[in-house]
Structure 1
Amino acid sequence: MKSPTYQIHKPLSRIFGLSKLKLLSIFLILSTIILLTSYAWHDLRVLTVGGEDLASPGSDTNEQSNKTKNPKDPDYWTWNTITRFQIYKSASKSTPPLTKTSDDLCHDFPTESLSRVQIVLKTGITESSERVDASMNGVTRCVTNLLVVSDRATELHGHRVHDVLADLAPFAEQINSTDYKLYLDMQRGDTTFDGAKGWMLDRFKFLPMIERAKAVNPTAEWFVFIETDTYFFWDNLFRLLDQFDPSVPLYFGSPSPGFGLEDGKRVWFGYGGSGFVLSKAAVDKLTARKIGSYGEYLDPSLSERYMEVVDRDCCGDSVLGFALYQSGVRLSGMWPMFNAHPLHGIPFGGDQWCQPVISLHKSLFSDMLGLAKWESQRDKTDPVLYSDLSDYLQLGDLTEKEDWDNGDWGGIEQHDTPAQESLDACRQACHDDDSCLSYTWVSEGKCIFMHTIRLGGKKIISSNKLTAGWNNAGILKWRASHRCEAPKWMKPSITRIF
């Protein structure tokens, strides 16, 4: 019987006649080649989307947070924030102390906070002086380092006004921008230059405004951009910024849909009228340029890169959002804290009640000055909530008003009911309905219910008479069942929108 034959397995080093050391060297070389190839493929993929790494960690704050978000988690933080203003005690946080004059708006303003926060006011030569005065006498009165940008160099209320369109002339000539030529006509003294032409120029200011803000205050940690009809609650803003790290690229505002993308998604931008905030890191990413071996810039500036895009689009805030998106900075939607409603148009309710309010848009000039005085005199132990603004407006203690409309936002017309028969019937029907908190009667036979608490505004129609009223008992009952235990600082979202 033959003995069994055994196959002897030789080490690879003997099969190829290589030493173990040489074999290890070959393995390391091959591993390095594979690793470098994967990085090269990744870089190529980045280049194909305009130099932006869409898959990088943190590139989309909202999408990343949504993947890890527990559905049971609230969509807000209940931070215990501290004011940077000097605190004056009074009977209640909505009642001004009587010992201070209403003219002293800046007695407790934390000017030292402006060393880290650069506030930028955008205006234009065609804006009414009343509107500019309301902003600079009220909203920005205490901002000592205010940067004012416009389409003409001048001076307003002691502040130098920077003409940020002047630097665009060489780029505009290259693309033969028709709208930008309006600016050149204005510089030559075109007397027909009006508000419509001013609005057409407004979109060109956004990107150079960012560049100018960085150039003027390169050490700022935060950049805040507002318009002349934006009201900002500075105490709440400073409280909010204290909770975030400016070394992270952050972009806060009220989300609006902007540029469409090839995958069917859409870029979201911060609506300019509500104001928006950029961290230092976000501004640095947006304005970054490649530098040559001698320190020279190899890339065009931010404004030059997007000049043609701005010329084709309608809105500068949308283009800014797109430029930030391409830089890898996504919007952190902060509605309703950043709000596009004016004061008189806020529909107070569940989503606009216990939240701190940071900005409003298109408020009446008198409201802007009135709010500034009220804020300067209130006890700032706690942030201003929407419920506090309801107190300021005395909602729940109002009488019926003629030539008034409080139902033009979210109003529900009552069809085929006795409510539409007369003003008395409309009023009674609202008082009988637990969900109706205010009503508007139109003399042609329309009764409109509101399920939110809203002041509304004066409206005169030649063909019909409007009368508005409030279910004060219903409002007080609703308020009693919706007391705010803590401020709801809203987490970023682009699904919770205005």
Structure 2
Amino acid sequence: MFRRVQQDESRPKSYRAPRKPARPRRLCIAIITSVVMWSVVWYLFRSPVPSRDPGRFAQSAGSVCPAPELQKDILVVLRTGATEALVKLPVHFQTILQCVDDYVIYSDMEEVIDGHHVFDVLSQVNHTLLDDLPEFELYKQLRTDGRAGLEYQTIFGSGPSGAVDNPGWKLDKWKFLPMVDRALQYRPHAKWFVFVEADTYMVWQNMVEYLSKFDARQPYYLGKHMYISDTLFGHGGSGFMLSNPAARKVSDHWNEHREQWDKFTREEWAGDMVLGKALKDVGVDMFWAFPHLQGDSLTAMDWNVSKIGREPWCFAPITFHHMAVTEFNTLWRFEQEWHRLNPTRGPLRFRDIFKDLVRPQLQPKSGDWDNLSAGTEYSEGALERLSEQDRSQLSPAEQEARLSLEKCQAACESKPKCIQFSYATGKCMTSDQLRLGHAVYPVGSTVGRGEAKAAPEPRNPIKSGWIASRVSSYVQQLDMSCDSGKAKIWVV
């Protein structure tokens, strides 16, 4: 039933098999590879959502997968790059893709990973661009030497919040328009194309049900809203979906005006924005699918957020972004168990994930934990930046908040909307955003499997806490809104 290995796509004529590295370089390559693999251990084995009851969501034999007729008409397109593929792809094969009927993986290098074919989506790029643009140096190395061409520093960072100098990230913007075209060639009669990244988690049951609510004969572009200047587009990391007519319109337009779009892509930095602009130019506007599509992970998501008049709580989640391997596995086990226990309950909602998976982690005080409190800072530096008048308006609890975890908690409790706080020596943060955050492990501890060491202990360890009574009140109020009969589960 499931297509696990994608090998049917015709190999591009311009494809050249990577040459084997020269024998004298093998020892050096082995050393570099070892350094790189140990350097990514923190990503692989960090445990941002540790289970306090590991057996709670144990995975039994067989996966619970969607049976709707629509699934056979969906192609999932997973976009990645050589600098991250070995780290991020395997968990997809072990979890979500077990339930996906058909998928294809596009990258900047053709290879096979765990028996799954990965296609080079840049193989037909204009050769003038290859010769003229320094951002294609990594790509040329990959085509010549394969993974032997990867250097230590290319493995790190992605996007504006990471290392923008990562050569792999610079290549990424060139993949968007070609991957839509290649996806159409691969499955010309698919009704829907779902595009996700290597660290995007899909709640596949909800994805399938959501797409069934739209007429795939119409040109649809569903995404999480994002702007660069005045260009609206669907954020790539949150995932976006194109109906066949939409994909065909933008693919035809790109093929007819490649030189124009090469020039535009060259001048911009975000490929998802380039694709959004091209779709707009052919008359396909983006449908705002928030909060189904999320730009944050379980650890970083603000459960108290409200955007464009929508709070996630009652809605059905479809994607999470920036998901670590442990988060993938934890959410997959939870999702599978939830569907086994609730076969007729309806779609999984954000509130189900929060109440069963996140809330048990929210302790009044938690050491070696950073709950990502973002709001008001209380520290010597912050006090110095305040005017004398502003300092005089601070409550006694706020003036002492920087002195200890207990005083930081007292400062949070003194503010009616504050729901969580974090403390490091001399610095207190209070916030009305509700986030889980992640563990901060001490030196020498082991995380996950084997003897992989966690990241070094921070010089100033962080402790965190939540105001339990306010969390309970928040949950109660939102549950009432969901159960009122007026709450929406889907944005259509």
Global fold match (TM > 0.5):
yes
Determine if contact 1:97/1:377 at 8 Å carries over to the other structure.
no
Determine if contact 1:203/1:317 at 8 Å carries over to the other structure.
yes
**CA separation of 1:453/1:426 partners in 2, compared to 1, >3 Å: closer, same or farther?**
same
**CA separation of 1:352/1:146 partners in 2, compared to 1, >3 Å: closer, same or farther?**
same
Partner SS state of residue 65, structure 2: coil
1:404 and 2:369 aligned: yes
Give 2:404's match in structure 1, choosing from 411, 414, 422. 422
Distance apart, 1:213 and its partner CA: 0.6
Distance apart, 1:384 and its partner CA: 2.1
| C-alpha separation in 2, matches of 1:310 and 1:105 | 44
Distance apart, 1:253 and its partner CA: 1.1
Q: How does 1:379-458 map to 2 (within 5 A)?
A: 379-380=342-343, 381-395=345-359, 398-399=362-363, 400-408=365-373, 410-413=374-377, 416-417=394-395, 418-419=397-398, 420=401, 421-431=403-413, 433-444=415-426, 446-458=427-439
1:191 and 2:149 aligned: yes
Q: How does 1:215-294 map to 2 (within 5 A)?
A: 215-258=185-228, 260=229, 266-288=230-252
Letter in 2 for 1:343: L
Measured against aligned partners, the alpha-carbon deviations of 1:230-254 in whole angstroms (never above 9, x if no partner) come to: 0111122122111111122111111
Give 2:175's match in structure 1, choosing from 199, 205, 208. 205
Task: Show the counterpart of 1:370.
Answer: 330
Letter in 1 for 2:348: V
Measured against aligned partners, the alpha-carbon deviations of 1:252-286 in whole angstroms (never above 9, x if no partner) come to: 1111113x5xxxxx111111111111111111211
Distance apart, 1:207 and its partner CA: 1.0
1:308 and 2:263 aligned: yes
Distance apart, 1:373 and its partner CA: 1.6
Q: TM-score when scaled to structure 1? A: 0.70
Q: How many residues align?
A: 379
**CA separation of 1:300/1:450 partners in 2, compared to 1, >3 Å: closer, same or farther?**
closer
**Aligned-residue CA RMSD (Å):** 2.8
Task: Show the counterpart of 1:319.
Answer: 274
Distance apart, 1:181 and its partner CA: 4.2
Determine if contact 2:408/2:421 at 8 Å carries over to the other structure.
yes
Distance apart, 1:112 and its partner CA: 4.8
Measured against aligned partners, the alpha-carbon deviations of 1:85-104 in whole angstroms (never above 9, x if no partner) come to: xxxxxxxxxx9999x96154
**CA separation of 1:452/1:384 partners in 2, compared to 1, >3 Å: closer, same or farther?**
farther
Task: Show the counterpart of 1:488.
Answer: 488
Task: Show the counterpart of 1:474.
Answer: 470
1:155 and 2:125 aligned: no
Measured against aligned partners, the alpha-carbon deviations of 1:460-497 in whole angstroms (never above 9, x if no partner) come to: 774433210111222112212221225534648xxxxx
Any gaps of 5 or more consecutive residues in structure 2? 1-52, 156-165, 384-393, 442-456
| Higher Cα radius of gyration | 1
Measured against aligned partners, the alpha-carbon deviations of 1:392-439 in whole angstroms (never above 9, x if no partner) come to: 33416633222322244x423357342414211222343455422221
Distance apart, 1:368 and its partner CA: 0.7
Q: How does 1:134-145 map to 2 (within 5 A)?
A: 134-145=91-102
Measured against aligned partners, the alpha-carbon deviations of 1:337-385 in whole angstroms (never above 9, x if no partner) come to: 2111111111112523122211111022111111112111212522222
Task: Show the counterpart of 1:177.
Answer: 133
Distance apart, 1:110 and its partner CA: 2.7
Of Structure 1 and Structure 2, the greater helix share is in: 2
Determine if contact 1:356/1:489 at 8 Å carries over to the other structure.
yes
Determine if contact 1:395/1:453 at 8 Å carries over to the other structure.
no
Q: How does 1:78-117 map to 2 (within 5 A)?
A: 102-104=59-61, 106-110=63-67, 112-117=69-74
Partner SS state of residue 102, structure 2: coil
Task: Show the counterpart of 2:387.
Answer: none
Task: Show the counterpart of 1:60.
Answer: none
